[in-house]
């Protein structure tokens, strides 16, 4: 008998969670083991339940306030082992989608795509492959210079610099806070932007706003 795929669903909209749960209940090989409306609830569920896949929005309340779930999801993905992460989103910028993949997200499902895409995404990531729904794939393939997906994940130091920069700190202020040289901070900022597929300061701010950092 095939072992059921255990799934945690996280979204701050109750109607979305209900819809996802009902969809997943139509698949006999999938079991929803918990639902969360924010990252605090997701953390409690991950501690309490064995889980194979997390289906999560990224624009929902974070542990430290705001609407940033990305920092928490990054910590989940750094764990060994960790569940596969399927992101539900309305993001339509190619460099932002590639940034999620670089972070370690296993699948991106655009909320504008057919509901069946979510079931396909779960089966695909459990099989060890990356999944993009039709709309997400179209956005990425439509760009003139397709980003190098999964080319490299941000290091913890690059992510730290990235967060402080989008919060408004200048390079020299970040250097002083983290006790690193200004040259090192500049290099880490440029590396983070390159890995996320961001070319300009405007791209950086747009990305930070989309994932709830700004």
The CA–CA distances, whole Å, from 117 to 106, 108, 109 equal 14, 10, 7
Q: Is residue 149 part of a domain?
A: no
What is d(CA 133, CA 5) in angstroms, rounded to the nearest whole number? Answer: 20
Contact in structure between 111 and 90 (CB atoms under 8 Å): yes
43, 85: one domain: yes
Looking at 84, 110, 142, which one is the last position of a domain?
A: 142
Here the CATH number for the domain that contains residue 185 is 1.10.10.10
Coil, strand or helix: which one is 86? Answer: strand
Domain count, the chain: 2
187, 138: one domain: no
35, 122: one domain: yes
The number of helix segments (H) and strand segments (E) in the chain equals 10, 6
109, 169: one domain: no
76, 11: one domain: yes
What is d(CA 72, CA 63) in angstroms, rounded to the nearest whole number? Answer: 8
Per the prediction, the chain carries an average pLDDT of 83
Q: Which domain holds residue 35?
A: 5-142
Secondary structure percentages of the chain, helix, strand, coil, to 5: 50, 15, 35
What is d(CA 19, CA 8) in angstroms, rounded to the nearest whole number? Answer: 14
pTM exceeding 0.85: no
Looking at 99, 115, 142, which one is the last position of a domain?
A: 142
69, 168: one domain: no
21, 84: one domain: yes
* Position 109 confidence tier, pLDDT thresholds 50, 70, 90: very high
192, 112: one domain: no
Provide the percentage of residues in the chain whose pLDDT is more than 90. 42
Q: Which of 59, 14, 19, 69 is nearest to 39 (CA)?
A: 69
pLDDT tens digit string along 128-162?
898 999 988 888 777 654 444 444 456 778 878 88
How many other C-beta atoms can be found within 10 angstroms of the C-beta atom of residue 152?
11
Secondary element (H or E) of residue 18: helix 14-25
What is d(CA 170, CA 187) in angstroms, rounded to the nearest whole number? Answer: 14
101, 138: one domain: yes
Q: Is residue 28 part of a domain?
A: yes
Coil, strand or helix: which one is 64? Answer: coil
Q: Is residue 38 part of a domain?
A: yes
pLDDT of residue 148: 45
């Amino acid at each position: 008998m095939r072992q059921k795929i255990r799934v945690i669903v996280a979204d701050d909209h109750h109607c979305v969670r209900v819809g996802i749960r009902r969809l997943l209940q139509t698949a006999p090989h999938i079991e929803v083991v918990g639902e969360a409306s924010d990252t605090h609830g997701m953390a409690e569920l991950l501690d309490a339940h064995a889980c194979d896949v997390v289906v999560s929005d990224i624009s929902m309340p974070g542990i430290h306030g705001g609407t940033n779930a990305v920092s928490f999801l990054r910590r989940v993905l750094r764990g060994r082992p960790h569940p596969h992460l399927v992101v539900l989103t309305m993001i339509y910028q190619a460099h932002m989608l590639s940034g999620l993949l670089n972070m370690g997200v296993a699948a991106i499902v655009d909320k504008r795509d057919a509901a069946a895409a979510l079931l396909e995404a779960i089966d695909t990531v459990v099989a060890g492959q990356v999944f993009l729904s039709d709309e997400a794939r179209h956005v990425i393939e439509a760009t003139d210079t397709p980003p190098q997906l999964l080319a490299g994940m941000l290091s913890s130091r690059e992510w730290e610099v990235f967060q402080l920069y989008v919060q408004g700190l200048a390079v020299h202020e970040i250097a002083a806070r983290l006790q690193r040289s200004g040259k090192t901070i500049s290099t880490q900022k440029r590396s983070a932007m390159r890995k996320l597929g961001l070319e300009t300061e405007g791209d950086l701010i747009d990305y930070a706003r989309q994932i709830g950092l700004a």
